[in-house]
Amino acid sequence: MLIFVVGFFRSEDFMPSLKSWRAEKYLEQSKGYQAIGQIQKVGLEEEDAVTTAEKAFLLAPSNMEIHRNLALVYYKVDPITGLKEWADIATRPDASAEDHLHVVDLALESAKSSKKLQASMGLKHTSSEKTHKAFLKIAQLQLEDLAQDKTVADSIPFRKALAGYIAEFGEVANALKAVKVMREKVKGQDTWLDLFFCRLAISLQKESKDKTIPEFEEAEKLLRKLSEGEGQSALDAIGHFRGLHLVKQRTKDEIRRLHELLDRKHDASEERLIIKCALYSMELSLAGGNEEVRKRIIERCGNHFDQQFDLLLDDAALEKYCHWLGAHHLEDNILKALPMKRASGSEKLVKVRLGALANLGDFEALERTLDEATILEEHWRDAFSARAKMARSASMANEHDIMEHPLMQKGIEWWSPDRQLVLHESVAKAVAKKEAIFTIFDEEMELNYARILIDYLQTVKETEVRLTSLVDSIYQDEERVQNIYNWFLISGDQESLQFILERLFEEPSYKAFCAKQLLTYKGKFAPLKEIQSWTKAMADSEPDDLSLQNTLVYWNLLSPEPSPPQLQEWREFSGKHLKENPLNLQFRVTNALALLRLDFPVKALSVLKTPSGSSRPTNWERVRPSWARIYAIALSRSNQTEDSIALLETLSKKPYETKAEENAIPMLFGDVIEPPSKLVEQP
Reply yes or no on whether the pLDDT at 555 is more than 70: yes
Residue 653 DSSP one-character state? T
pTM equals: 0.62
Question: What value does the mean pLDDT take over residues 13-21?
Answer: 69
Question: What value does the mean pLDDT take over residues 584-595?
Answer: 95
Quickly list DSSP for 217-230: HHHHHHHHHHHTS-
Question: What value does the mean pLDDT take over residues 69-97?
Answer: 89
Distance separating alpha carbons of residues 406 and 402, to the nearest angstrom: 9
Higher pLDDT, 337 or 180: 180
Q: How confident is the model at residue 260, as a pLDDT?
A: 92
Q: How confident is the model at residue 308, as a pLDDT?
A: 66
Question: What value does the mean pLDDT take over residues 455-460?
Answer: 80
Task: Report pLDDT digits (tens) over 111-164.
Answer: 887 666 544 444 344 456 677 888 889 999 999 999 999 999 999 999 999 999
Query: DSSP 3-state assignment of 581?
Result: coil
Q: How confident is the model at residue 15, as a pLDDT?
A: 54
Residue 407 DSSP one-character state? G
Least confident of 379-388, 485-494, 645-654: 485-494
Q: How confident is the model at residue 6, as a pLDDT?
A: 46
> Among candidates 116, 157, 160, 154, which has minimal Cα distance to 135?
116
Least confident of 142-151, 326-335, 574-583: 326-335
Distance separating alpha carbons of residues 513 and 226, to the nearest angstrom: 43
Higher pLDDT, 559 or 610: 559
Distance separating alpha carbons of residues 181 and 13, to the nearest angstrom: 55
Distance separating alpha carbons of residues 208 and 176, to the nearest angstrom: 14
Reply yes or no on whether the pLDDT at 436 is more than 60: no
Reply yes or no on whether the pLDDT at 471 is more than 80: yes
**pLDDT tier at 264 (50, 70, 90 boundaries)?**
confident
Cβ–Cβ under 8 Å, residues 415 and 683? yes
Q: How confident is the model at residue 52, as a pLDDT?
A: 92
What percent of the chain shows pLDDT beyond 70? 84
Query: DSSP 3-state assignment of 37?
Result: coil
What's the N-to-C CA distance of the chain in angstroms? 91
Length of the chain counted residue by residue: 683
**pLDDT tier at 403 (50, 70, 90 boundaries)?**
low
Q: How confident is the model at residue 147, as a pLDDT?
A: 92
Task: Report pLDDT digits (tens) over 565-576.
Answer: 999 999 999 999
Least confident of 63-72, 117-126, 127-136, 377-386: 117-126
Cβ–Cβ under 8 Å, residues 488 and 496? yes
Distance separating alpha carbons of residues 353 and 225, to the nearest angstrom: 40
Distance separating alpha carbons of residues 42 and 48, to the nearest angstrom: 9
**pLDDT tier at 408 (50, 70, 90 boundaries)?**
low
Distance separating alpha carbons of residues 110 and 229, to the nearest angstrom: 31
Higher pLDDT, 112 or 414: 112
Q: Long-range contact list for 65-69, CB < 8 A, 24+ apart?
A: 65/27, 66/23, 66/27, 67/92, 68/99, 69/27, 69/30, 69/31
Q: Around 650, how many Cα atoms within 13 Å sit in the side-chain half-sphere?
A: 17
CA dihedral 474→476→479→482, nearest 10 degrees, is 60
**pLDDT tier at 678 (50, 70, 90 boundaries)?**
very low
* Cβ within 8 Å of residue 619, ≥6 positions away: none
* Single-letter residue type at 518: L
Q: Long-range contact list for 598-605, CB < 8 A, 24+ apart?
A: 598/567, 598/568, 598/571, 601/633, 601/634, 601/637, 601/638, 602/638, 604/634, 604/637, 604/638, 605/634, 605/635, 605/638, 605/640
Residue 475, exposed/middle/buried by CB under 10 A (0-12, 13-18, 19+)? middle
Q: How confident is the model at residue 450, as a pLDDT?
A: 66
Distance separating alpha carbons of residues 372 and 369, to the nearest angstrom: 5
Distance separating alpha carbons of residues 633 and 645, to the nearest angstrom: 10
**What backbone phi and psi angles, to 5 degrees, belong to 527?**
-65, 155
Least confident of 303-307, 357-361, 389-393, 654-658: 303-307
Task: Supply the mean pLDDT for the chain.
Answer: 83
Q: How confident is the model at residue 438, as a pLDDT?
A: 42
Quickly list DSSP for 236-258: HHHHHHHHHHHHSPPPHHHHHHH
User: Within 10 Å of residue 12's Cβ, how many Cβ atoms?
Assistant: 6
Reply yes or no on whether the pLDDT at 2 is more than 50: no
Distances in Å between the alpha carbon of 668 and those of 28, 205, 255, 562, 659?
78, 52, 64, 11, 14
**Per-residue three-class SS string for 83-121:** HHHHHHHHCCCCCCHHHHHHHHHHHHHHHHHHHHHHHHC
Q: How confident is the model at residue 634, as a pLDDT?
A: 95
User: What residue ranges of the chain are covered by domains with CATH 1.25.40?
Assistant: 523-683
What is the CATH number that goes with domain 523-683? 1.25.40
Higher pLDDT, 617 or 634: 634
> Among candidates 437, 413, 410, which has minimal Cα distance to 426?
437
Q: How confident is the model at residue 266, as a pLDDT?
A: 80
Q: How confident is the model at residue 665, as a pLDDT?
A: 95
* Cβ within 8 Å of residue 278, ≥6 positions away: 239, 241, 242
Task: Report pLDDT digits (tens) over 621-650.
Answer: 899 999 999 999 999 999 999 999 999 999
Reply yes or no on whether the pLDDT at 327 is more than 50: yes
Q: How confident is the model at residue 100, as a pLDDT?
A: 92
* Single-letter residue type at 508: P
Distances in Å between the alpha carbon of 526 and those of 548, 647, 665?
18, 27, 15
Task: Report pLDDT digits (tens) over 190-249.
Answer: 999 999 999 999 999 988 777 889 999 999 999 999 999 989 999 999 999 999 999 999
